[in-house]
Amino acid sequence: MPPEPRFVPRFAAEPPQEHLPYGRWAERLQEEFLAACLRIDTEESGAIGEVDDIAWFPDRTWHGRTYIPASAATSTGLELFGYVSFIRGTAEDGEPTGFDARADATTETAALNPDWAIDLCDEEIGAWRGEAGNIATMTLVWGRPLVAGGAIATAELARLCVDQCELVDGRFTLLAPDDYRGDTLDVALFDAKGTELARESLYEDDDE
């Protein structure tokens, strides 16, 4: 095979390993996530209000930490989004440690943007140093399709697939390099036959 012209990490994170959180595990994650929500600066977004049920997204593990993204609507019309991360327990004790949670709020919701085909959230979680000092931003991306028929989501950098995730209860999580050598991530949605149904950029178009 010829040399790869675009040297960039692909499929760097482990695929999802567990079911979506439920029961006591979901309650433990909820404690961490809601504590992070209390630290949100509400000067821009306004009061959070009452928080609806939290939607959890598939787990992804990278560099020894597992990330479980989350989102939740609030009574004031906001959407809370973020993640809980931790270090998986060992075979001996099985208890996760090193919990860390991040959360933010937005007024830009899918209900107010009927032109969206995929509802996306993202968070920078690290960096990867590549050729000639170029640095890729390792980015956690999670969301749900707003069109029917989706089966798998992919992350693409300059039309190169760098991660993918099968939908679980209509949700997906990706972990991929972004903003590398002038290229930025697109998220694409495909059906079970591999037909592309939708595509969204992590960035707004310049004319928007």
Q: Let me know if residue 167 belongs to a domain.
A: yes
Measuring CA to CA, how many Å separate 72 from each of 129, 132, 161? Answer: 34, 41, 29
Tens of pLDDT, residues 136-169: 999 999 999 999 999 999 999 999 999 999 999 9
**What is the pLDDT at residue 27?**
97
The residue with tokens 């992590």 is 202
Q: Let me know if residue 8 belongs to a domain.
A: no
Q: Let me know if residue 42 belongs to a domain.
A: yes
Residue 25 backbone zone (phi > 0: left; psi -120 to 50: alpha; other: beta): alpha
Total domains in the chain come to 1
Domain extent at residue 47 = 23-201
Q: Let me know if residue 62 belongs to a domain.
A: yes
Q: Let me know if residue 7 belongs to a domain.
A: no
Q: Let me know if residue 136 belongs to a domain.
A: yes
Predicted TM-score (pTM) of this structure: 0.93
The residue with tokens 């990706």 is 174
**What is the pLDDT at residue 89?**
79
How many CB atoms are closer than 10 A to CB 169?
A: 12
Q: Let me know if residue 18 belongs to a domain.
A: no
Q: Let me know if residue 175 belongs to a domain.
A: yes
Tens of pLDDT, residues 167-208: 999 999 999 999 999 999 999 999 999 999 999 999 875 444
Identify the sign of the CA torsion 91, 139, 106, 78. Answer: negative
**What is the pLDDT at residue 208?**
43
Tens of pLDDT, residues 17-66: 999 999 999 999 999 999 999 999 877 777 899 999 999 999 999 999 99
